[in-house]
Homo-oligomer: A and B are copies of this chain.
Amino acid sequence: MSINSFKLKTKCLSTQARTATLDMLHGKVQTPIFLPVGTQATVRTLTPGDLDEIGIKMILCNAYHLYLRPGIDIIEKAGGLHKFMVWDKPILTDSGGYQIFSLSSFRNITDDGVVFRSHLDGSEHRISPEYVVSLQEKLGSDIMMVLDVCPETSARTGDLKRAVKQTSEWARRCYNAHNDTGQHLFGIIQGGTDPELRTLSAREITEIDFPGYAIGGLSLGEPKATMWSIVDHTIAEMPGNKPRYLMGVGAPDDIFEGIARGIDIFDSALPTRVARNGGLYTYEGRKNVKRSVYKDQFGPIEESCGCFTCRNFSLAYVHHLFKCEELLAYRLATIHNLYFMNKLVVDIRDAITKGKFAEFKEQFLSKYQPTDEDRRVDQKSRSLDAKRQKQAPDFK
């Protein structure tokens, strides 16, 4: 397998919507692609068979979470992450940089790497860029991510600068540590919402010959206009012949905006998280299925939807399951939202191929009512707080 497996159509400009093939150990996928998040070796509520039925071709897991639980040695003994979770298609593993800097109650950057306390039990762990690569090699993921430093959106310029410097240094060490396993190691560009630091980070990271590059540290609470301005600014420094991955972004409207700028890969826990809260995607926007107005709606969530949930169950039934907090509710909602996201990117790929992306984008966005921005930021922040509180109740 070639490390330069990303074959772009030559006529495609570097910063416009584009399609390509990603060739990986566990198969090929078409881009643009949206990766559902399966942090702990499971896309919450779903089996691999459910994912297949939805049409999902690739997922994301998290090396940090899997390192803490069940432990990489367990997964290695199982024959790797694919065998452990019984998913035979490509997996991208995030390194855990973001989690170490957002979930840990304590972390300290040393010459060697980073020391942090587990958000689960407070135990102390030391990891280095080299170690993070070796962990992901043991997992056997198709795309691995370098260890990066991901500061909060509110970080001061000095902290952001240090984070960019550290990220570049660690990226080089990861690159050098990576063995010829057939796995692809992607670099991550940081720099917060500072355009100059983004330029600096993009130049330093893209100097290293990674097979693909990610934009990290966005969608962390900054206004959307700021996010897209930073994406524009960063992409200008990224090569056109390699895949670009916008980390943690995945609202339906964001997918269009990202693809329009030449982004190839997206991941986000948003579609699955909002599903479990009763937020169901439709072509008019997100619908809160818990609203009592749906209690006697005996049609599907959306008439045109072909997902398992819409083919079989009424909105009234899904509403009932949510009101009763029945576990099946979360599964049926997750299936619907992932089907919606997957169909969206499939349709977008089709539109790009036919040269009709701009038309399709305009048509979609003219009908789709995005969720209010304040509410989104608030939801994201509450979700992170809940995670920290739930998982770290008893230690300092």
**How far does the alpha carbon of A74 sit from the alpha carbon of B294 in the complex, in Å?**
11
Closest chain-B Cβ to A334's Cβ sits at a distance in Å of 9
Residues of B within 8 A of A85 (CB): 317
Nearest residue in B to A324 (C-beta to C-beta)?
B40
Binary interface encoding of chain A residues 43-71 relative to chain B, with 1 for a CB under 8 A from any of its CBs, else 0: 01111000000000000000000000110
Flag if A327 contacts B326 (CB, 8 Å).
Answer: no
Nearest residue in B to A48 (C-beta to C-beta)?
B312
Partner of A70, one of B45, B295, B313, B328: B295
Binary interface encoding of chain A residues 269-294 relative to chain B, with 1 for a CB under 8 A from any of its CBs, else 0: 00000000000000000000000000
Question: Size of chain A's interface in residues, with CB distance under 8 A?
Answer: 35
Is A210's beta carbon under 8 Å from chain B?
no
Flag if A317 contacts B86 (CB, 8 Å).
Answer: yes
Nearest residue in B to A330 (C-beta to C-beta)?
B327
**How far does the alpha carbon of A313 sit from the alpha carbon of B40 in the complex, in Å?**
15
Is A320's beta carbon under 8 Å from chain B?
yes
Is A8's beta carbon under 8 Å from chain B?
no
- Give the oligomeric copy count: 2
Give the contacts of A168-219 with B (CB-CB under 8 A).
none
- Which of A296, A312, A328 has the largest number of chain B CB atoms within 10 A? A328
Flag if A295 contacts B74 (CB, 8 Å).
Answer: yes
Residues of B within 8 A of A316 (CB): 70, 74, 78, 84
**How far does the alpha carbon of A86 sit from the alpha carbon of B310 in the complex, in Å?**
12
Is A31's beta carbon under 8 Å from chain B?
no
Residues of B within 8 A of A69 (CB): 320, 323-324
- Which of A40, A69, A319, A323 has the largest number of chain B CB atoms within 10 A? A40
Residues of B within 8 A of A79 (CB): 298
Residues of B within 8 A of A320 (CB): 40-41, 69-70, 74, 84
Flag if B298 contacts A77 (CB, 8 Å).
Answer: yes
**How far does the alpha carbon of A217 sit from the alpha carbon of B40 in the complex, in Å?**
43
Is A42's beta carbon under 8 Å from chain B?
yes
Question: Could you list 5 A-B pairs, sorted by A, with CB under 8 Å?
Answer: A44-B326, A70-B316, A70-B323, A74-B320, A84-B320
A sample of 17 more A-B contacts (CB under 8 A), given A69-B323, A79-B298, is: A40-B320, A40-B326, A41-B317, A42-B326, A44-B328, A45-B331, A69-B320, A69-B324, A70-B295, A70-B316, A70-B323, A74-B295, A78-B316, A84-B314, A86-B312, A86-B317, A327-B331
Q: Which residues of A are at the interface with B, using a C-beta cutoff of 8 A?
A: 40-42, 44-47, 69-70, 74, 77-79, 84-86, 295-296, 298, 312-314, 316-317, 319-321, 323-324, 326-328, 330-332
- A-B pairs, top 4 by smallest CB distance, nearest first, are A70-B320, A45-B327, A40-B324, A42-B328
